[in-house]
């Protein structure tokens, strides 16, 4: 995870217990009944999963939700109740993120992507889901599309919400959107480290960085929380061993462009 991620790990005020506790506070907001558990995979990894099964519509095709980069199932709290009224809903922490296993990934873009997709398929098999409506946000949208290309018979509908990694990086530098100077500076300093290494190296100031640089999260979830619950959740999700984060880095180049853009691989 690079020198930034490995420097003084005890400096970070986090643990999986911290993440478990703050996630529990978030899930207490659910009105519908739910079950949360680890789903074991054949490779000994575990995928943290939440399932909401409605009283009506149990036999309908389930909705499966795949979160974005740096997230976890807790960030779906605004949507879980409303989307599970008429059909089963399952959401899980991607391998390497949230409370799922922080397994090592291949260091190349294709290998990292295939490891994500293979874990989703192994999860589906263990869950006994014949087919699903697959919804992905951000990185989850990219992986949902990749999964659908490999296992089209398992996906009844594909829903992409602001998916990452679809366009090709323009060959003409003039067509590349200009990033602010501070972003370029941070990218230069952290170029060899994982994207969120700064949260871990910041130690006890890490939670404050989330609150400072993403105050929009507090506003977005204001109907549920009037404190720093969401920023705490995001911090603890990303202050753990960054295996999924490292996999994402392997899949990217130059300020977040995908090394294997999805638009080159799908037929519109």
Q: Is the pLDDT of residue 219 over 90?
A: no
Specify the pLDDT at position 175: 61
Query: Of all helices (H) and strands (E), which one includes residue 186?
Result: helix 181-189
With beta carbons less than 8 A apart as the criterion, state whether 38 and 26 touch.
Answer: no
pLDDT band at 123 (very low <50, low <70, confident <90, very high): very high
Q: Quickly state the pLDDT bin for 1 (edges 50, 70, 90).
A: very low
Task: Enumerate domains of the chain plus CATH numbers.
Answer: 16-166+180-264 (3.40.50.1820)
Residues 6+ apart with CB under 8 A from 155: 131, 132, 133, 134, 147, 148
Name the pTM for this structure: 0.87
- Among 19, 63, 49, which Cα is nearest to 122's? 49
Residue 225 clears pLDDT 60, i.e. is over it? yes
Most confidently predicted of 11-15, 97-101, 171-175, 180-184? 97-101
pLDDT value of residue 10: 55
Q: Convert the pLDDT of each residue in 181-199 to its tens digit.
A: 434 444 554 455 677 877 7
**What integer best gives the mean pLDDT of the chain?**
88
Higher pLDDT, 137 or 188: 137
Confidence bin at 266 (pLDDT 50/70/90): confident
Name the more confident of 203 and 68: 68
> How confident is the model at residue 173, as a pLDDT?
64
């Amino acid at each position: 995870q690079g020198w930034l991620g490995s420097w003084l790990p005890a400096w970070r005020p986090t643990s999986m217990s911290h993440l478990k506790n703050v996630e529990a506070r978030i899930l207490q907001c659910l009105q519908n009944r739910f079950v949360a558990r680890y789903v074991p995979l054949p490779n000994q990894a575990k995928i943290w999963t939440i399932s909401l099964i409605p009283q009506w519509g149990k036999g309908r095709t389930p909705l499966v939700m795949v979160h974005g980069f740096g997230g976890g199932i807790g960030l779906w709290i605004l949507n879980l109740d409303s989307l599970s009224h008429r059909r089963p809903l399952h959401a899980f922490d991607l391998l390497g993120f949230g409370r799922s296993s922080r397994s090592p990934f291949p260091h190349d873009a294709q290998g990292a992507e295939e490891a994500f997709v293979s874990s989703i398929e192994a999860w589906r098999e263990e869950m006994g889901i014949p087919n699903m409506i697959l919804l992905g946000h951000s990185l989850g949208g990219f992986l949902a599309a990749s999964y659908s290309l490999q296992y089209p018979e398992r996906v009844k509908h594909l829903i992409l919400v602001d998916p990452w990694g679809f366009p090709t990086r323009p060959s003409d530098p003039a067509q590349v959107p200009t990033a602010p100077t501070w972003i370029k500076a941070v990218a230069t300093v952290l170029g060899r480290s994982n994207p969120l290494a700064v949260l871990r190296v910041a130690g006890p100031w890490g939670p404050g960085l989330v609150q400072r640089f993403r105050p929009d999260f507090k506003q977005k979830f204001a109907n549920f929380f009037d404190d720093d619950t969401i920023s705490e959740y995001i911090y603890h999700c990303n202050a753990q061993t960054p295996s999924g984060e490292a996999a994402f880095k392997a899949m990217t180049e130059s300020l977040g462009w995908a090394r294997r853009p999805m638009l080159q691989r799908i037929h519109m």
